[in-house]
Amino acid sequence: MTRRTGRIASGPRARRRASGPEVQRCRRVLGIALALLTLGGCQATHQQAKQQATGRWNAVRAQVKVTLAADQLKAGNVADAAGELAEAYRLNPTLAELVPLQARVHLANGDTHKAQQVLENATLEGPAQAEAEYLLGIVWQQRQRWDAALEHFTRASRQAPDEIAYFVAVVQALLQLGQTEQALDQLRSGQEKFGWTGAYQAAWAECHEHLGDSDAAATAWSKVIGTNTADRSIRERLAMALYQAGRLSEATPIFEQLVEEDGTGLQPVGSEPSDCLRLALADCLLEDGRIDAAHTHVAIVLRRDEGQAAAWRLLARVLVGQGRFERALQAAWRALRIDPDNAQSLELAAALASRSGDQELAATLANRLLERHHDSGNPVASAILSATPVATTRNDPAPSEE
């Protein structure tokens, strides 16, 4: 009889027993467990890759939405821009461009408070931070706080020194603060970098307008036109600068084109810019001897709005050109009724009263001109008073109606 012991069997016989059915089952279980572990790892990796791909796709879509929102805002479709922006926030709320664009939407809606909150609460870097500073300048600009606007525009320009919009904003803020020489210094500092751009030339023109140098302003606006002939506002500024500089032959064709674009000119009351252009054109035509054409344009303005003293003064000059002096005096008097203390109206009416032989009226108007404008050297008033020994004053110096 063989005696059993507590030792574990070893050797070939033991190994033969270890290859039995139970061990095979253990091996199968271990294999299945390992397979499950491997499959679980693959599934986790696949899920992670899917999430990463979705994130990348959403980031692309958000960038597209930002572009669409910016385009809608540029086109004036503020509500549509806000909708695209909301979708961009949903897709990728960390996108840096969202903050400045959101502020622009608030500014377009006239809500400077919300725009300021969005900009001041954001943590931005690089170009987005420079744009945020610029937009904060716009916030203060809209509130007519030009000192605060200048501070933010200056920061924006320092953070993004190659951005012409920020550079020019500094110039415009300085002009609004009456610091014209500092504005010119700013422009000179950037001439090499920005001098070729239309925005730079426009700022240069505005500086010279503030200095009263219409000729230099006209030259600068001409350079702006060379970079953008389609912008009507630039053509208007050029025409007015040429007109004020006395370069009427150059101003006339530009005025004619602008007025032609306006159509008949019979716009509703409140179209002052159009009226101003039409009256400037009429003045140019009158100086060029095209009296009837000038009369037509003045009549269009007065038919739309009889309350414009400048139009009545110009009509008086047109009527003088036509030899209709009594009617000219009546037109000058209409201008005086609208603006009784206007020096041009007083001088014109006094001269016409003298021309018509009413020296008493002429002297009354000349005295009023000298008293209210302290213009003792006015040649018209001096000539009238020297020719009138006794200058009496009428209580109602209105000329007789025709």
pLDDT for the residue numbered 389: 59
Q: How many helices (H) and strands (E) does the chain have?
A: 21, 0
State the pTM of this model.
Answer: 0.68
pLDDT for the residue numbered 87: 77
pLDDT for the residue numbered 82: 75
The architecture (CATH level 2) of 161-229 comes to Alpha Horseshoe (1.25)
Low-confidence ranges of the chain (pLDDT < 50): 1-18, 34, 36-37, 39, 264-271, 391, 401-402
Distances (CA, A) of 192 to 5, 49, 195, 309, 352: 104, 51, 6, 46, 54
* 76 exposure class (CB count in 10 Å sphere: 0-12, 13-18, 19+): exposed
pLDDT for the residue numbered 359: 85
Over residues 191-232, the pLDDT tens digits come to 999 999 889 999 999 999 999 999 999 999 988 887 665 678
Q: Three-state SS string across 303-354, please?
A: HHCCCCHHHHHHHHHHHHHCCCHHHHHHHHHHHHHHCCCCHHHHHHHHHHHH
pLDDT for the residue numbered 338: 93
Residue 38 identity:
T
- The residues spanned by each domain of the chain are 161-229
What's the CA gap between 339 and 368, in Å, rounded? Answer: 13
The dihedrals phi and psi of 190, each to the nearest 5 degrees, come to -110, 15
Over residues 164-200, the pLDDT tens digits come to 999 999 999 999 999 999 999 999 999 999 999 889 9
pLDDT for the residue numbered 315: 96
